Amino acid sequence: MMTKLHSTVTSIGAECELFLQEKMMILFHEDVPKELKEIAVVHNNRDIKDDVAAGDFLVIGDERYEILFVGSKANETLRELGHATFFFNGESSSDLPGNICLEDKAFALPKENEEIKIIAV
């Protein structure tokens, strides 16, 4: 097992709950612009060890979610901005190049100080 990203949640934007209905979570590094902080799960590490790929897993606390699709710009924005938009929709494609699609499985937002990881198994 290889950990590609290991980060800790430092804050949860007030509007993140609204995206649960859309099966969506927006991740940003701590230097996120102020106007985006309200919609973001903010974390403290954007040092990615290797590109995220389909077949990897997003781990939030004790829950694992299989990654089914990684948009062509997703790894770039993860490295530069610590940003990705995760859709828990079971899709294996997306029109938006920054999206990461995961298995269609119920999820809860992480809590402050909870770890987020992306792993390859």
DSSP string, 62-108: TEEEEEEEE-TTHHHHHHHHS-EEEE-S--S--SSTTEEEE-S----
Q: Are 70 and 52 in contact (CB under 8 A)?
A: yes
CA angle, 117 as apex, 112 and 32 as ends, to 5°? 55
Task: Spot the catalytic one: 6, 29, 43, 83.
Answer: 43
Known catalytic residue: 83?
A: no
Strands 57-60 and 115-120: antiparallel
CA trace torsion 8, 14, 19, 21 (10° rounding): 120
Q: Is 39 helix (H, G, I), strand (E, B) or coil?
A: coil
State the catalytic residues. 43
